[in-house]
Amino acid sequence: MTQFLFFSGKGGVGKTTMSCATAVAEADAGKRVLIVTTDPASNLADVFEQPIGHAITAIAAVPGLWAMEIDPDKATAEYTDRTLAPIRMIFPEQIVAVMEEQLAGPCTAEVAAFDRFADFLDPTVPTLVPIGGDAFDLVIFDTAPTGHTVRLLELPEAWSKSIAEAESGAGQTCIGPAAAIAEARLKYERALAALRDPSRTRFVFVLHPEGTSIAETERAGGELARLGIRASEIIVNGLIPDDERQSPFFASRIRMQERYQDLIARRLPHPSRLVPLLDGEVRGIARLRALVPLLSDPHAARPVFGPMAGAVERTARDTAPAIAALRPAGGPRTVFFAGKGGVGKTAVSCAAAVWAARQGYRTLLVTTDPAAHIGQVLGEVIETAPTPVPSVDGLWAARVDAKAAAVAYTDRIIEDAVAKGRSPASVAAMREELDSPCTEEMAAFDQFIELASRDSFDVTVFDTAPTGHTMRLLELPIDWSRQLDVKVFASVDGDAADEVAKARFAGVIDMMRDPGRSTFAFVMYPEATPIIEAGRAIDELASLGIPLGLVVANMVLPEDACRTPFALARRQMQQAHLAEIEARFAAPVLELPLLDGEVIGLERLSNLLAPALVPVAAHP
């Protein structure tokens, strides 16, 4: 029987590396292995160094290993065709056309990606039998960062409930008649049963020995436990080798990691593995195989990849263009910090918001990331509505909370419908449609639009979710075309609702496209996968008319801390990638250092950004 293995955790902790190395090890041991990524911004192809895409693809250098990257757009087209096929055979064209319009909405994309994910947990679906006729022995899921993965794993239960309730009521869901998708209910129930079966499914959390990573792992573990899914083990990744203690900088980071290892042992009592930080990037089959012994034995010999070619120490650059990208220019400015999980978006966003407030600008900091770490970084409780941050004059903060937003969103629509005298049957049908997993996304999107539309702040800083989910959020104002009806914007009726909504969307779209009013800043650390992922997202934004405004090269190793072969190799790797960043992206580049401890609290935030924003000419 096919076994399932999930790798999850905060962005940037090494989930893809751990899952790919495990897949190679299991295939080399003679198993038929499939690795699937549920992350919209997949790095599987980058790590395996070969094209993969939205089809089960053999990994050329590893017999017995296949991979697939779920593409949300292709999954949506497949889902729509499959859903409408039986309808086209029974109903007239007019009814089919109405359903096609419903299924053209942005909600369908999430449902479709989830539906494709559920296929791999269902033994009755032929996708688990690749060319050759034998089923996979093991399916490995390289998941999106934790907040989005928890939502994905909640969906089997949520959609089964939504379909069942629609069948017993008016028979209507937010993406069409329940009859059209009722068959999926059994598949979702089988998927949930597989997830809850410890004899078939193991769940591994990957984390760094850092406070935010531990907090996110704890929170996700609790959410999964409520679904009847329990973590099997943890991998503590990125441990600095002990012989780097000779450097005061690395000695400080090692002591920090040791404190957090003790905390992990107390608060996450699962079987654990320790994996050290290596002197270079793990990309390609040879390096994945070199990592494999360390997955089972932390004392195994560490591979030495050595210095990277093309490293040149670079001189300081003028930071005036970066400062201009963060300041208002004759009117409010909105700054979006985006990038791969784990690149430090939250720390950079918080530091930028604190800096702007201390420059005298009335500033709002918003996080759209389900993990919502800005409270932990600022040391404050962050509410869903903009609330002053007591420790920083001129700074307000808010978080987009999909679950809380969905409750308020549903209540608002139902109250408005009742006030307008809608019939009890109409209100009941409206409530039935809103009792759907799609409502969370619609409500979060609505809250994002409301916050992005405000002009009462001089500077609004968005700390966004990891790249794939952020791209979806930013594209929604453009993609949400004819899906604007009374259940979404209930303040007016019919065509008037469409016009009001379109006007709101048009305002946000115009703002995002105007470099005088908004800045898209991509944060990356100087390694290949964050640069590649950012490059893809920047190209996608450009196709929507949204320009790149700033690049933040984060976590740059200080030169005076790098004296050993290990540290020098990592520093040289970074310098080569910094040169690549400078050459590749047509935007100001702001370099920020890796500090000797976590970026938590106002003093650390000031140490991160304020020195970097002093013009070069002012340096002694």
Q: Are residues 254 and 360 in the same domain?
A: no
Say how many domains are in the chain: 2
Of 8-17, 348-357, 421-430, the least confident = 421-430
Quick check: is 92 in a domain? Answer: no
Average pLDDT, the chain: 80
- Is the alpha carbon torsion for 283, 285, 286, 290 positive or negative? positive
Q: Are residues 114 and 255 in the same domain?
A: yes
Q: Are residues 256 and 351 in the same domain?
A: no
The SS3 of residue 402 is helix
Q: How far apart are CA 438 and CA 155, in angstroms?
A: 10
Q: Are residues 53 and 194 in the same domain?
A: yes
Domain end: 294, 321, 345, which one? 294
Tokens of 229: 């899914």
Quick check: is 427 in a domain? Answer: yes
pLDDT, one tens digit per residue, over 383-417 is 888 999 999 999 999 988 777 777 877 887 788 77
Nearest CA-CA partner of 21 in 3, 41, 5: 5
Give yes or no for a contact between 94 and 87, defined as CB atoms under 8 angstroms apart.
Answer: no
Q: Are residues 418 and 501 in the same domain?
A: yes
**CATH code: domain of residue 54:** 3.40.50.300
The SS3 of residue 224 is helix
Q: Are residues 203 and 62 in the same domain?
A: yes
Quick check: is 366 in a domain? Answer: yes
Cα–Cα separations (whole angstroms), residue 583 to 323, 579, 586: 20, 6, 8
Report the first-to-last Cα separation within the chain, whole angstroms.
Answer: 67
pLDDT at 620: 37
Q: Are residues 513 and 598 in the same domain?
A: yes
Is 282 or 306 the better-scoring residue by pLDDT?
A: 282
Give yes or no for a contact between 308 and 280, defined as CB atoms under 8 angstroms apart.
Answer: yes
Percent of the chain whose predicted confidence (pLDDT) is above 90: 37
Mean pLDDT of the region 410-427? 80
Phi, psi of 217 (to 5 degrees): -65, -45
Q: Look-up: residue for tokens 């220019």?
A: 329
Quick check: is 313 in a domain? Answer: no
Q: Are residues 124 and 243 in the same domain?
A: yes
* 354 contacts: CB under 8 Å, gap ≥ 6: 392, 395, 602, 605, 606, 609
**Dihedral of the alpha carbons of 223, 233, 53, 113, in degrees to the nearest 10:** -20
Mean pLDDT of the region 42-51? 89
pLDDT exceeds 60 at position 515: yes
Q: Are residues 341 and 439 in the same domain?
A: yes
Quick check: is 208 in a domain? Answer: yes
Which residues span the domain enclosing 276? 3-72+110-166+184-294
**DSSP-derived secondary structure letter, 134:** P
Mean pLDDT of the region 90-115? 65
Give yes or no for a contact between 209 and 238, defined as CB atoms under 8 angstroms apart.
Answer: yes
Residues belonging to the chain: 620
**DSSP-derived secondary structure letter, 274:** E
pLDDT, one tens digit per residue, over 295-344 is 988 789 899 987 776 656 666 677 888 889 999 988 999 999 988 878 88
Q: Are residues 348 and 289 in the same domain?
A: no
Phi-psi region of 339 (alpha: psi -120 to 50; beta: other; left: phi over 0): left
Nearest CA-CA partner of 542 in 458, 474, 453: 474
Q: Are residues 147 and 281 in the same domain?
A: yes
Query: Which range, 81-85, 229-233, 501-505, has the best average confidence (pLDDT)?
Result: 229-233
Domain end: 244, 266, 294, which one? 294
Quick check: is 569 in a domain? Answer: no
Q: Are residues 132 and 9 in the same domain?
A: yes
